[in-house]
Structure 1
Amino acid sequence: MSEPRAPHAIRPARDSDADALGELDRATWSTLHSVQPRPVPPYEPFFDERHRPDGHLVAESDDGRINGYVRLGFSTPLACNRHVRQIQGLAVAGRARGQGLGRALVRAAGDEARRQGAVRITLRVLAHNTTARKLYESEGYAVEGVLPGEFFLAGRYVDDVLMGRSLTL
């Protein structure tokens, strides 16, 4: 399994990262991974009541540029589900792709979920995003369900794939 080749520090996000993260999110938007319409001005703030900085880890290069992030949250607000965390977003800047940064962020999300006391981690990925699916599978995630034709994107129906893994192994 590859490790990041370029020097990147993965750290918790800060309020001051909002603009850079918003730009990254807009630059990486694609129907390959997003079910939301393409963002248009005026842009919504990157952080809001549901998506606070403490739910994000960022990959910062040695020159201070944010080249990626992962959003980690709860899949439901239920107390009986508090032992599970969910990856709810992952983005890597085009300039940093192919360096193992996505893998490093996925691993960091698992480590952070464990630190928070989670015993399981899940995610949802669009079926046609084979690159992301291969990454998750190589990191121990297994397909746990498929919602056939869940989304209509770019003129076709796309399956929503549910994946997860244990954090206790």
Structure 2
Amino acid sequence: MYESHIRPARLADELALGALDRETWSTLHAVSPRPVPPYDPFFDSNHRPEDYLVAADGPAESARGGAAGGTDGGTGPGDVIGYIRIAAPTPLACNQHVRQIQGLAVTDRARGRGIGRALLRAACDESRRRGAVRITLRVLGHNAPARGLYESEGFAVEGVLPGEFWIGGEYVDDVMMGRSLR
């Protein structure tokens, strides 16, 4: 039986994460243009593997990087099926008690299995482990599915920047959400 396992990202996940990012790109959540070749590296000095948690499909030993663990975006055991990025919202020492979700993606073939919710909960747990007492995120106003997920996990709207983005021929709100980790 296959199930999802969440683990820290590894440098070896880069190709699979980049493919997942391109596969899931949508104006529902993206403010940047659709990626086109040649693709930028997924990991760089501002996007490090330690900032990501990965959901991998398959037995736990494959998800931990055993020989069966794939990283090419395929459908075998151990394949990356989702990720969440958590980082400090600013480099300021006075803000280090906060973590911010700066990306969440789940492959289409794994949707509806609770992967996004599991990644969100894992991000809260990891943020607590890193000493955070609060977690925040930004979501586009028209992304009702994501907003519903966040609200169901205790996030509340803390601010709205009306019409902050021009996407797909319309102005879209930037919604700030947050919650306590205590």
- TM-score band, normalised by shorter chain: over 0.9
The match for 2:172 among 150, 158, 164 is 158
Identity %: 69
Q: Residue type matched to 2:168 in 1? A: A
Q: Residue type matched to 2:21 in 1? A: D
Q: Quote the residue 1:75 is aligned against.
A: 89
Residue 6 (structure 1) shift: 5.6
Q: Residue type matched to 2:177 in 1? A: M
Structure 2 residue matching 1:50: 3-state secondary structure: coil
Aligned residues: CA RMSD: 1.0
**Rounded Cα–Cα distance in structure 2 between residues aligned with 1:6 and 1:106:** 20
Q: Quote the residue 2:51 is aligned against.
A: 55
Equivalences for 1:84-103 in 2 at 5 Å? Answer: 84-103=98-117
Structure 2 residue matching 1:70: 3-state secondary structure: strand
Confirm or deny: 8 A CA contact 1:6 1:99 kept in the other structure: no
- Residue 6 of structure 2 corresponds to residue 10 of structure 1: yes
Q: Quote the residue 2:37 is aligned against.
A: 41
- Residue 139 of structure 2 corresponds to residue 125 of structure 1: yes
**Per-residue Cα deviation, 1:110-138 (whole angstroms, up to 9, x for no partner):** 00000000000000000000000000000
Residue 82 (structure 1) shift: 0.2
Unaligned runs of 5+ in 2: 59-76
Unaligned runs of 5+ in 1: none
Moved over 3 A (4+): none
Residue 152 (structure 1) shift: 0.2
Q: Quote the residue 2:69 is aligned against.
A: none
